[in-house]
Chains A and B, each alone.
Chain A
């Protein structure tokens, strides 16, 4: 069965520090992978997605993620975190077809210290 694991429930970083949020997936075929961000009172916003091709994908707000098939991972990174990045981050996997039937991880809550 498909599943997504985000091992870190809570992460705190200092503003300006680098960030890596972990995501591991279980899927029988090449997955479609997504990272979403959810700010309080707002809907989930798509940061980036991987369907195929280059395994390093660039997203909005300076985020990037790397698909590593051998590790079944799709970790999200940002070189320098801003206070406005504090939010909840969700990794998701989708069946072929892309966005339908997304399976989400439990989320990682990011806090940013000034």
Chain B
């Protein structure tokens, strides 16, 4: 149990376009989901925390208008990178807390490349 999926696993887009990444908890309900960004050979950096039905809480330095997060249900959160630029190229990872637990279960990540 406690499986988190992400879709797509890889995406390549042109500069200026928007990209949506989905994070789903497959076999549990997630009250809280987290979005991380990982640069090559660097650690995961928390971008934002999202709770179902409410606005996401963004970490300092993360542009909320650029990285739109929607947590519409207890099993789905989406991250939309708007007007993507090459510097947005990165590995994006989500995690989810199962209801009744505060352990984070991680998705496999999405590799975004902006040309």
The chain A residues found within 8 Å of chain B, CB to CB, are 4, 9, 36, 38, 41-46, 90, 97-107
Residue B93 is within 8 A (CB to CB) of chain A in the complex? yes
> Can you name the residue of chain B whose Cβ is closest to the Cβ of A39?
B108
A71 to B42 alpha-carbon distance, docked (Å): 23
Tell me if B107 and A9 are in contact (CB < 8 A): no
A96 to B45 alpha-carbon distance, docked (Å): 18
Residue B106 is within 8 A (CB to CB) of chain A in the complex? yes
The chain B residues found within 8 Å of chain A, CB to CB, are 4, 9, 32, 41-46, 49, 93, 95, 97, 102-109
Q: If the complex has contacts A99-B104, A100-B49, are A105 and B109 also in contact, measured as CB distance less than 8 A?
A: no
Tell me if B41 and A43 are in contact (CB < 8 A): no
- Return the contact of B4 from the options A36, A43, A46 (Cβ within 8 A): A43
> Can you name the residue of chain B whose Cβ is closest to the Cβ of A46?
B103
Tell me if A43 and B103 are in contact (CB < 8 A): no
Tell me if B43 and A104 are in contact (CB < 8 A): yes
Interface residues of chain B: helix, strand, loop or mixed (majority)? strand
Tell me if A101 and B46 are in contact (CB < 8 A): yes
Residues of the B chain whose Cβ atoms lie less than 8 Å from the Cβ of A99: 97, 102-104
Residues of the B chain whose Cβ atoms lie less than 8 Å from the Cβ of A46: 103
Tell me if A102 and B108 are in contact (CB < 8 A): no
A107 to B108 alpha-carbon distance, docked (Å): 16
Tell me if B43 and A4 are in contact (CB < 8 A): yes
Q: If the complex has contacts A43-B4, A100-B49, are A106 and B102 also in contact, measured as CB distance less than 8 A?
A: no
Tell me if A43 and B97 are in contact (CB < 8 A): no
Having A9-B41, A99-B102, A105-B43, one finds 9 other A-B pairs with CB under 8 Å, namely: A43-B4, A43-B106, A44-B95, A44-B106, A98-B102, A99-B103, A103-B43, A106-B41, A106-B43
